[in-house]
Amino acid sequence: MKVAIVTGASSGIGRSAAVQIAKRGTGVILTYGNNRQGGLETAAAIEKDGGTAVALPLDVGEAGTFAAFRDTVAGVLRDTWQRDTFDYLVNNAGFAQTSLIQDTCPWWPTAGPSSTRAATRQRQPAWSPATRSTGR
């Protein structure tokens, strides 16, 4: 059996990815951050459908916990699937910190509305409906 690690699988896109991967016959190690109950519910849903899943805590905002997480994953792989590697990684987890824009953008205090529009335009993708070829 192949094995996937799906981070941030306690809700939303991560949960859906974990469930869909398991439906295709792949074992799932899923992670959760603050939503332990959601992680356990995701694992239970996978197992209810006949899949194999293990839910583990992971705080992606704390790099100091990564070594212990790696060791835990190695143990789960060994104990649950009798192997020492995994096949897929869905890196869905994230973390957010809030701050005021003037604290994160050094040009903000000196920029007016036109500078903000220019900065936004520079970050737009090269392809957009406005630049799309009409085939003519």
The Cα–Cα gap between 86 and 53 comes to 13
- Is the CA virtual torsion 71, 76, 81, 87 positive or negative? negative
- Does residue 128 sit within a domain? no
- Residue 98 maps to a domain: no
For the cut 70, the answer to whether the pLDDT of residue 122 exceeds it is no
- Whole-angstrom distance, CA of residue 73 vs CA of residue 99: 34
In a domain, residue 79? The reply is: yes
What is the span of the domain harbouring residue 17?
A: 3-90
Residue 9 is assigned to a structural domain of this protein: yes
Q: Which residues pair with 3 in a beta bridge?
A: 27
With respect to residue 113, please indicate whether it lies within any of the assigned structural domains.
Answer: no
Number of structural domains the chain divides into: 1
Q: What is the pTM of this model?
A: 0.72
Domain assignment present for residue 117? The answer is no
Domain-embedded: residue 51 = yes
* Burial class of residue 40 in the structure, from the number of CB atoms within 10 Å of its CB (0-12 exposed, 13-18 middle, 19+ buried): middle
CA distances to 13, 52, 105, 133 from 111, in Å: 36, 54, 10, 34
Which residue from 92, 135, 48 is spatially nearest to 40, judged by alpha carbons?
48
pLDDT at 76: 98
pLDDT at 47: 98
119: pLDDT confidence band, cut at 50, 70 and 90?
very low
Mean pLDDT of 58-75: 94
State the angle between helix axes of 36-48 and 12-23 in degrees (0 to 180), rounded to the nearest 10: 20
Q: How does pLDDT run across 81-118, given as a tens digit for each residue?
A: 999 999 999 999 987 777 777 677 666 555 555 444 45
CATH number at residue 10: 3.40.50.720
